[in-house]
Homo-oligomer: A and B are copies of this chain.
């Protein structure tokens, strides 16, 4: 729709070089959105972007990285929307639901591509820059989840003047578990025909368990420093 790439045999080389990246991005984005990841060939993307087949792989290391490239942007928008509409206060369960619901719905817009995106994120090579970007978005969502949890903990343990405000426990494990649940459920959803509502209900019931576990006073556990468990690539 925006660029109408007429096969201009003489023009290619003379074109502005710096927008080649943009042409490839747009081509991949449009084709994946229209036909779905699996049905699109890298050849088609190259043709639509009006570059040679091999050129595509100078801007992304693999077909799946092309998907990461275009889907990161879409995912980021969904995440920003979720962050924006997160109520600044309230029950933990409701705030988490508010945060996750847009993400789940977004995933359902094109569930084939969402599954492929998850696959590229989970199984892609560490050398792929766009995968790194995707992992950062993943971290960012976990961060938001952790904040909601920690805030909830602080509120819950605020009204005891006797206690010297024992610090909130590390919310990272709970946030990570919630993310795992979200991802797992999203992928499962592509293989079944559950409704979004059903999927969301399943996710939230798991999230509920996890957030209760976080908020529940822990029985003086050996806090195995979980901060070292980060992806170190």
Which residue of the partner chain B has the closest CB to A193?
A: B232
Given contacts A206-B173, A229-B202, contact A123 B187 (CB under 8 A): yes
- B interface footprint on A156-194 (CB within 8 Å = 1, 0 otherwise): 000000000000000001101101110111011001111
A208 CB contact (under 8 Å) in B183, B213, B230 = B213
The answer to whether A8 has its CB under 8 Å from any CB of chain B is no
Which residue of the partner chain B has the closest CB to A219?
A: B212
Oligomeric state, in number of copies? 2
The answer on a CB contact under 8 Å between A209 and B208 is no
Contacts of A122 in B (CB 8 A): 119, 187
CB distance from A69 to the nearest CB of B (A): 19
The answer on a CB contact under 8 Å between A212 and B206 is no
The answer on a CB contact under 8 Å between B123 and A192 is no
The answer on a CB contact under 8 Å between A184 and B187 is no
The answer on a CB contact under 8 Å between A177 and B210 is yes
The answer on a CB contact under 8 Å between B198 and A229 is yes
Contacts of A89 in B (CB 8 A): none
The answer on a CB contact under 8 Å between B223 and A174 is no
A191 CB contact (under 8 Å) in B126, B174, B177, B202 = B126
CB distance from A156 to the nearest CB of B (A): 12
A214 to B198, CA, bound (A): 21
Q: Kindly list the 8 A-B residue pairs having the minimum CB-CB distance in the complex, ordered from nearest.
A: A213-B213, A180-B184, A212-B213, A209-B213, A202-B229, A180-B180, A201-B224, A177-B206
